Structure 1
């Protein structure tokens, strides 16, 4: 078993890569856009990020976690307008509900929680740096990032990249763009929209540059671990990384990634647009929080999966078995070592839990404590 006092970090594999860590691990988690309460897709991402941090800390690694809040976003502004509320007040209320859900699920408090509206100056500085590097251009008060090479770097065919850009609001048919693959760094604001002064217009930042600015402000030019939902891989993470790398010259922006598998309902991705959201708070009214946490992490982290109420009942039943196992006589030290090593091998929670349930005793107690399932 590895203890936090151990000065030598054991081998760690994350995101399919061996990740030597010296000093501290800088972990950036793509946070919420606070326009709705927490659904299972959100919860899965943030619980897995919490598990990664817990496992690294148990291994003796000093972990700093930054989880941003995207509180400047056109989707949020539209939701606030429908609710008849100022966007910032609306975001604060939704953030309160989110924090309550995270606490209930045992997600530990993060070290840094930057909010986009507090980092407008950094967004402007990054945008200007991209202009100076000839990786961006201005058009009628808007500034666009030159993204022509990004789809190919992400391994996407043009049609697939175009569809994803359109899906996430980066209109590839915007006539102001030089190429369909360019994305907004700064947009002029209309009346009633959030706006800040800039060298180009009174406006607001784009989504991707917000994350790049917040991550760089917190951790500098690179990260050890970047986590987020698999649906953020493109365009968000691809462009965020490209913007940071274009300015700093440091590559890769993130040494490794955890793109958490998508949660579906009846085969369809859980999302507000499809109307199939399952909210965390609703489930917590009738089920133990630890059972829901176990449901979320009881599979490989990158695996897409379908939510079913019967699976939550099964998770509650297994949680009871695991807790019962902790009361059995202590198992062999080798079993405990095997279980903790499974967690260090790309967060193999499935194997670690199987060993814990079979061996019981101290092994079960250790693994449940690491995973936040006590």
Structure 2
């Protein structure tokens, strides 16, 4: 059933010259954008801008899927024209009211036919696999949990010589002590860590130094199980911001943080014999980050015993075994039902980085605890 999205998207392409602007406007017009305008870019001496308004219609009510498909197409156009893309979303009447001024270049009478014609060439979302294994459910805690944990070597690090998001990393040991308190203030300590030590996909030279202390916490039998699982998820995130290459050295703070996680994988995998099913699943994900990782029989056995589909674990095992064909098939399959995976396939990452980012996204969707 043909529908109109609740929100309209304004696409603004900033291109080098008028010729590029008019070519881009022609393409957006052909894609059925409701309004298309071109104008000189007042922020540069010679650049131009193209503005297009996508307010539907879409072939069905899956707004996110069709909006993502349009975003990919327009992003590719911006790259082809040597420009950059900016987007904003608003209710249609608001988007029209604040739409940038410029020379109009489209016939509004053909919007519906063009829009549906273009999107009819895009595949609709396929049904996602029905995940039934239940690894995303919180498990009851067991064992001697609770109480503060001592972090060995914390005061041996010259934190003042390192930097975090806001300057010298003097506060980092207190943040780690906040995590080690293992109490009801945990969430606040995590927020501080992801403000100072890792901030919006950016690591600092203090970040790799903190990993060994996170590993100490994860391995402590006193740590609450929910906190242990959360730290494993956070370490998987840190390790996939900028994964270290299969060969070569880390060339960024993000890659150095990934290297620190990889270096401590043996310590983390030592948890396996006594670990819960949820922890084991994330250990499999983390193991896939290691360059040249080797398949482990216990991973395969764990997967065989798991009920139903598991896109995340299947991808992790394919990466661990080095099965490039399976990795390709699994990522393409995920892109057919998950628009974020589809977008990641278009990003200018290295293949390894792209695959690991997709793995973390799928794992977060499938394996992270949900209330």
Q: Relative contact order (C-alpha < 8 Å, sep 6+): which is higher?
A: 1
Task: Judge same fold: TM > 0.5, yes or no.
Answer: no
Which one has the bigger helix percentage?
2
Which one has the bigger strand percentage?
1
What range is the shorter-chain TM-score in?
under 0.3
Q: Please give the TM-score of this superposition, normalised by the length of structure 1.
A: 0.23
Q: Please give the TM-score of this superposition, normalised by the length of structure 2.
A: 0.24
